[in-house]
Amino acid sequence: MPQLYDIFFASSNKYKYQEVKKILDNFGIKVGFFKYDLTEIQADTIKEIAVQKVIDAFNQCKKPVIVEDDGLFITSLRGFPGPFSSYVYKKIGNKGILKLVQTKRNAKFQSTIAFCDKKKKPILFEANVSGKISKNLRGKGWGYDPIFVPSGKLKTFAELSNKNELSHRYRALKKFASWFLNKRVSTYR
Q: Which residues are catalytic?
A: 69
Distances (CA, A) of 59 to 52, 54, 80, 119: 11, 8, 31, 8
Long-range CB contacts (within 8 A, 24+) of 76-82: 76/101, 76/102, 76/103, 76/104, 76/105, 76/106, 77/101, 82/46
Query: Using the 8-state DSSP alphabet, how is residue 40 labeled?
Result: -
160: three-class secondary structure by DSSP: coil
